[in-house]
Amino acid sequence: MMRSLRKLFVMPLGAVLFAVLLVLMATQIAASQPPPTTISFSVFPPPPTAITPGEVETFVWQIVPATTPVSVTLTIFDLDNSVLIEQRNFPGSSGLVLTQTYTLPLTYTLPFGVPFERYRARVSYYSDEVGLETSAESIFWVTQDTGNIEVIKFNDRDGDGIRDPG
Question: Does the reported pTM lie above 0.75?
Answer: no
The total domain count for the chain is 2
Residue 163 included in any domain: no
Residues 51, 111 within the same domain: yes
Q: Is residue 28 domain-shared with residue 10, that is, in the same domain?
A: yes
> Is pLDDT at 21 greater than 80 in this prediction?
no
Tens digit of each residue's pLDDT (9 = 90 or more) over 40-68: 999 999 988 899 999 999 999 999 998 99
Q: At 87, which CATH number?
A: 2.60.40.2550
Q: Is the domain of 50 the same as that of 113?
A: yes
Residue 113 has what pLDDT?
83
| CA distances in angstroms from 134 to 38, 98, 127, 140, listed in the order given | 8, 16, 9, 20
- The predicted-structure confidence for 123-149, as pLDDT tens digits, reads as follows 999 999 989 999 999 999 999 887 777
Q: Are residues 91 and 123 in the same domain?
A: yes
Q: Which domain holds residue 26?
A: 1-33
Do 69 and 27 share a structural domain? no
Residue 153 placed within a domain: no
Mean pLDDT of 82-92: 94
Residue 16 has pLDDT above 70, yes or no: no
Average pLDDT of 28-43? 76
- Burial of residue 159 (number of CB atoms within 10 Å: 0-12, 13-18, 19+): exposed
